[in-house]
Amino acid sequence: MEYYAIQKLKDVWGKKPCDHPKLEKIYYTGAFLTVYCCTQCGEEFTIAQKMEMEETRKEVKTL
Ligand SMILES: [Zn+2]
């Protein structure tokens, strides 16, 4: 997903709550950053945040 597409997602989604069902890698031109964003609301996450979210979901599933 590209940066301009994320800005558009954020505009469309606005401030509605989102449980971030799907995260996708973001490509910043010329930057060596690996960042993920929610394909639904456009919120950005670092790798650490993404992993933490996946861990939390695993815990929820095993309960
Ligand atoms: Zn989201």
Q: Which residues surround ligand 1, an ion (CB under 5 A)?
A: 18, 20, 38, 40-41, 43
Residue where the block lists tokens 């997903």: 1
Tell me, in angstroms, the distance from the centre of ligand 1 to residue 62's CA: 23
Q: What pLDDT, in 10s, does the model give residues 4-27?
A: 888 999 999 999 999 999 999 887
Tell me, in angstroms, the distance from the centre of ligand 1 to residue 37's CA: 8
Helix, strand, coil % over all residues of the chain, rounded to 5:
45, 20, 35
Interatomic CA distance for residues 42 and 5, integer angstroms: 8
Average of per-residue pLDDT across 24-53: 85
Q: Where are the domains of the chain?
A: 3-62
Interatomic CA distance for residues 59 and 63, integer angstroms: 7
Helices (H), 1-63: 3-13, 47-62
Report the predicted TM-score, pTM, of the whole model to 2 decimal places.
Answer: 0.75
